[in-house]
Amino acid sequence: MSYVHPEYLVDTEWVAAHLNDASVRIIESDEDPLLYAIGHIPGAVQVDWFSTLQHPLRRDFLTREKFEEVNSNLGIANDATVVFYGDKSNWFACYALWLFQYYGHQNVKIMNGGRLKWEKENRPLVKEVAAYAKTTYSAKEADKSIRAFRDEVLEQSNAKKPLVDVRSPKEYSGELISMPNYPQEGATRGGHIPGAVSIPWAQAVNEADSTFKTPEELRALYEGKNVKADGEVIAYCRIGERSSLTWFVLKYLLGYPNVKNYDGSWTEWGNLVDAPIEK
């Protein structure tokens, strides 16, 4: 058994062999914004989930026009193969990939294992910031089929369709409002969306080298909790970054046709007046 869409994943060896491939752009996207400056894969550019990808004022992502400008400045062409990698088991790499897909970039991949595996294999890291000639980039209309908003999350919950809560067990139970060891802020209520099953995101990756688990393991993990390919699935976490990794796993590694990431996640739901909560 293999992943359903293995073309969305490359290994470190593939990246090492394509460092000078003009049709490939490698993007580092980390939780810690300084890691890129400390050392990155030769030729890689940086996209920061916070300062690059967020709207400067509203709680939303950057606009389509701004996204075009970011890509143009990074020298990314519309037909480029964009490979994402990052720290923390590729959390933020998956988040960036999801957003690139949201604005219609087709050819995207995750480097399996991310920064951790690359470092463990003693592959080169450089400080020199890569610069490329500007491109003319045109993004597509935002693809709402991969992004869930609060009203449809409520409909999903009422219809008892699958919702996957990928936060830690204590966040799911409502004991904590944020991850253990993270600041406990952001929501005034704890718990989970009624009907959501708890499948913490980290269960999809191998701790030792940050690679994704095998297709068999992944299938057993999600199907075992009744999250199956034939339904519409919505994944959420606290701000939508951990759930974008789960979205990637369900959408591409397991090939579920209809998966959305609810980026409003618990920091919206746990503050939303009148929203139903289960503990």
Which residue's CB is nearer to other proteins, number 28 or number 252? Answer: 28
Which residue's CB is nearer to other proteins, number 31 or number 232? Answer: 31
What whole-number distance in Å separates Cα of residue 126 and Cα of residue 129?
A: 8
Amino acid at 256: Y
For 111, 114, 155, 173, the CA distances from 210, given in Å and listed in that order, are 10, 7, 34, 26
In whole angstroms, the minimum distance from the beta carbon of 181 to other proteins comes to: 5
Which residue's CB is nearer to other proteins, number 48 or number 68? Answer: 48
In whole angstroms, the minimum distance from the beta carbon of 30 to other proteins comes to: 9
The CA-based diameter of the chain, rounded to the nearest angstrom, is 54
What whole-number distance in Å separates Cα of residue 98 and Cα of residue 240?
A: 10
Residue with tokens 């919505």: 234
Judged by the rule CB under 8 A, the positions of this chain that interact with other proteins are 31-35, 37-38, 50-51, 87, 115-116, 180-183, 185
* Residues in contact with 248: Cβ distance below 8 Å, sequence separation at least 6, in sequence order: 8, 94, 97, 98, 110
In whole angstroms, the minimum distance from the beta carbon of 179 to other proteins comes to: 8
Is residue 237 annotated as a catalytic residue, yes or no? yes
User: Cα 46 from chain centroid?
Assistant: 15
Catalytic residue (one of 45, 76, 153, 237):
237
In whole angstroms, the minimum distance from the beta carbon of 245 to other proteins comes to: 16
For 6, 196, 251, the CA distances from 1, given in Å and listed in that order, are 11, 28, 16
Q: Any idea which residues carry the catalytic annotation?
A: 237
